[in-house]
Amino acid sequence: MNLDTHHSVRPILWRDGGLWLIDQRLLPQRKEQVVCRDVAAVAEAIRNMTVRGAPAIGITAAYGVVLAARDRFDTAPGSWREAIEEDLQLLAGTRPTAVNLFWAIDRMRAAIADCDGGPGVRLLEEARSIHEADIADNRRMGQLGAALIETPCAVLTHCNAGSLATGGFGTALGVIRAGYVTDRIRRVYADETRPWLQGARLTAWELLEDRIPVTLIAEGAGAHLMKQGEVGWLIVGSDRIAANGDVANKIGTYGAAIAARHHGVKVMVVAPTSTIDMNTPSGAAIP
């Protein structure tokens, strides 16, 4: 079975000098794209949840820096490095929980310092590198995570940590994709994930797009499935992981994890190293 046949969603594209984003507010009723051609549009897309998910936010911000640099250089080629700092602060203020946002901005700030003269292709290369590395990392995490599932089973996931939340393929859904094609995962239960219903609107839609069996359940039904022995693993992503290992994820993850512990269901948190924030001592310090 080809893993690529179970990865059909491409949420972020750089095309024709602009950033094209699937508008996740409209899914699953409509699949439309928003085109961002300046940094203000990118910041608004992050803020209003056109794009969401920590890795995807970071990638989007990186492309936003490319757009900002282009405009700043066109306006003031001699002082664009100083002027762009205002744009970096604009992006940094859009979503405080997602540490990948600040990680990506720091990567792009270092690339700005490395530019000889104008931004040219240097910043676009850096943004593309961040994007491509995220997809490659997700595939590797998918393989590693799926290998931990020794007995074929159904799994439960909360919120959306799939292609829509990343550069492509997904973190938690990356494990699920890899687990499904290797016959380790038989079915996915996706809970609604209130109040934005990311599980109902996004995760269920993604899995149906990739022909992976999924059952949408009410927010409070997961614990009952665990009690009945219907779920072997709870698999989730993360917005930020503190230095002590505390995990911040969508509201409701805490309750699901407690239920899993009570019923002997294993829990897997799937996230890249850019989600780990060694400057935050514990979850209590995460905004």
| Cβ 190 vs Cβ 256: under 8 Å | no
Report the alpha-carbon angle 143-148-149, nearest 5.
100
Report the alpha-carbon angle 52-57-63, nearest 5.
135
- Give the active site residue among 191, 210, 239, 277: 239
The answer to whether the bond into 28 is cis (omega within 30° of 0) is yes
Rounded CA-CA distance 65/108 in Å is 7
Rounded CA-CA distance 196/12 in Å is 21
**Helix, strand, or coil (residue 69):** helix
Virtual CA dihedral for 160, 166, 167, 171, nearest 10 degrees? -90
Rounded CA-CA distance 74/92 in Å is 23
**Helix, strand, or coil (residue 217):** strand
- Catalytic annotation on 246? no
Among 179, 195, 175, 190, which residue's Cα sits nearest to residue 225?
190
Distance between start and end Cα atoms, the chain: 42
| Cβ 214 vs Cβ 203: under 8 Å | yes
Handedness of CA 128, 132, 135, 137 (dihedral sign): negative
**Helix, strand, or coil (residue 100):** helix
Q: What are the catalytic residues? A: 239
